[in-house]
A = this chain, B = another copy of it.
Amino acid sequence: MKVFVAQQNYHIGNFDRNLELILSALKRAEEAGADLAVFTELSVCGYPPRDFLEFDDFIRQCEAAVDTIRQHTHRVAAIIGAPARNPDPKGKDLFNAAWVLHEGEVKAVVHKTLLPNYDVFDEYRYFEPATQWKVVPLFGHRIALTVCEDIWNLGDNPLYRICPMDELMLQSPDLMINISASPFDYDHDEDRKEVVRQNVLRYGLPMIYTNAVGSQTEIVFDGGSLAFDASGTLVRELAYFREDECLLDTAELLQPATKSDHSGIQASVLEKDMRVKRIDDPEQIIPYLTAVHNMAQVHDALILGIRDYFSKMGFKKAILGSSGGIDSAVTLALACKALGPENVRAVLMPSEFSSGHSVDDAVTLSENLGNPYDIVPIRGIYDSFLRTLSPIFGDLPFGLAEENLQSRSRGNLLMAIANKFGLILLNTSNKSELATGYGTLYGDMAGGLSVLGDVYKMQVYALAEYINRHGVIIPQNIITKAPSAELRPNQKDSDSLPDYALLDMVLFQYIEKRRGPREIIAMGIDETLVRRVLKMVNANEYKRNQFCPIIRVSSKAFGVGRRVPIVGRYLG
């Protein structure tokens, strides 16, 4: 059987576009002589459709798309992802399903069993889990067909009591196919390959694994579809962070040419929380977070995240505030790469507290990148606010209100230019700032999309180095100078925050690894520091609650996957 693997970039709820992508791939599959084209999880509607699944109209459109695809399957069969209605009046209305279409007919509908309901996932909100399993016969093969998470329990994943693969094996399949929408994070890609390989080794069967690609606002799907032969050898790996496709011959997968060596295989990568790796030596955290391998992936993920957000929303041009600091420099460099420098407008907005080099550095940066920029001093606006407020503020000393006024004046200016010219404001805050609340609501926290909101400050430096790997794009002075918000004379981040290497280490323990103060202190980190940092994180939940979507690159980003009460007094 010749299998065409289609790794495509769908758009949630954009049925016309998704259908067009699927039908054109089906046509290419036919031209390439394929017997079967395999798409990804919920391909007809895009993943995750979230509460759209509660609308009958939405499900009807999914059904209409499936119906159209069905009518386009003649000689070539298709496996596509779409919701299926639950005929049982008991249970949720829908299944998350893989549809097998061939010769103009629905040959099989396979329901997903293991419904992820952690981090960004809410599948139990919408879907009923499968309780029956049936191998799909196709072109002489007996296929163990599953959807995404269903290969993530090999009997030892504590989250699940059922192993759908074990159930399917009772029916003697000869090939495994899994259709996924498995999001990227720099903790996760190796896990995924390892899980596929472990299924192959456990059952001694080849597996074709398709994964979605493309970003859906905050969630990045990185592609990297896989084919393993029966011996556990990786035969094919599709591109990461872009659409890709290939033709496979199952005969080659079933009869591997080489016998690979599996002596180094881990017993299991699955843990109770499979998304969090264990890094128990605090000294290793920053080197791990800033590793070049991780940074290269984060770089590509962020560019895809920016590009897809703009293209799917129908936007072309971005704007951002360029301060001469490292966060805005890295954001600007990524945006120029994603959208083209001609589509990114940088605005330099110096105040009386800006240091001389800030404007110079920002100008040099934009000259290196070739993007348009404006210099718009905020002095007049700031003074006008102070004049208007003077009857109310009286003789009260300069303080937080005045600092925030500068930041918010800049936010206003950026939004005004954005509104005037139809630009989208990119936010430049990093994860360390967002965690500690070191930012101004409606000021530097404004924007439609956060590029670095899941990137710790130490990682922002590493990203800058990565961006400069073939030559200087970000001026060295931007990388080496002490970080400052420049909202009062001689201000430095270190006036308000611990050293970033220390801060990020504690934040990673608390946010990604969900370790409380007792556990973090037990790792040998100063108790006062730990409590101070954790208190900042919890006290600023209200700010993050109003923040824009953040492109997710870690196993635990702020936003939809991290659900923390605002009134929480819990400090650990």
Contact = CB atoms under 8 A, between A and B. Distances in A.
A87 interface: no
Given A50-B563, A380-B384, A420-B399, A57 B122 contact: no
Interface in A5-61: 11-15, 17, 45-46, 48-52, 54-58, 60-61
B565 A49 contact: yes
Contacts of A548: 542, 545-546
Interface stretch (A288-296, A361-369, A389-397, A455-463): A389-397
Interface stretch (A89-97, A189-197, A228-236): A89-97
Contacts of A103: none
A102 interface: no
A491 interface: no
A411 B442 contact: yes
B413 A385 contact: yes
A516 B392 CA distance: 50
Contact of A388 (B378, B560, B563, B568): B378
Contacts of A257: none
A126 to B, nearest CB: 9
A528 to B, nearest CB: 17
Nearest to A52: B570
Nearest to A543: B448
Taken together, the copies of this chain in the complex come to 2
Interface stretch (A165-173, A401-409, A473-481): A401-409
Given A384-B381, A545-B548, A572 B376 contact: no
A71 interface: no
B392 A415 contact: no
A267 interface: no
B545 A92 contact: no
Contacts of A571: 13
A262 interface: no
Contacts of A516: 55-58
A562 B57 contact: no
B412 A385 contact: yes
A321 to B, nearest CB: 14
A376 B399 contact: no
Given A381-B384, A405-B416, A569-B14, A514 B55 contact: yes
A80 B546 CA distance: 34
A468 interface: no
Contacts of A355: none
A405 to B, nearest CB: 5
A562 B51 contact: yes
A295 to B, nearest CB: 26
A416 B442 contact: no
A485 interface: no
A542 B448 contact: yes
Contact of A50 (B160, B441, B565): B565
A359 interface: no
A198 interface: no
B405 A392 contact: no
Nearest to A571: B13
B415 A408 contact: yes
A419 to B, nearest CB: 4
Looking at A17, A380, A517, the one whose CB has the most chain B CB atoms below 10 A away is A380
A341 interface: no
Interface of A: 11-15, 17, 45-46, 48-52, 54-58, 60-61, 89-93, 117-118, 122, 124-125, 158-161, 216-217, 272, 308-309, 312-313, 374, 376-378, 380-381, 383-385, 387-389, 391-393, 396, 399-402, 404-405, 408-409, 411-413, 415-417, 419-420, 441-442, 446, 448, 514-519, 542, 545-549, 560, 562-572
19 contacts: A14-B570, A46-B565, A50-B563, A51-B564, A52-B565, A57-B518, A57-B519, A89-B158, A90-B161, A92-B159, A117-B122, A122-B563, A124-B124, A380-B384, A381-B388, A392-B417, A404-B416, A408-B415, A442-B442
Given A55-B516, A56-B519, A57-B518, 7 more contacts: A11-B569, A12-B565, A12-B567, A12-B568, A51-B564, A401-B417, A545-B548
Question: Closest 6 interchain pairs by CB?
Answer: A57-B516, A13-B570, A384-B384, A401-B419, A442-B442, A14-B569
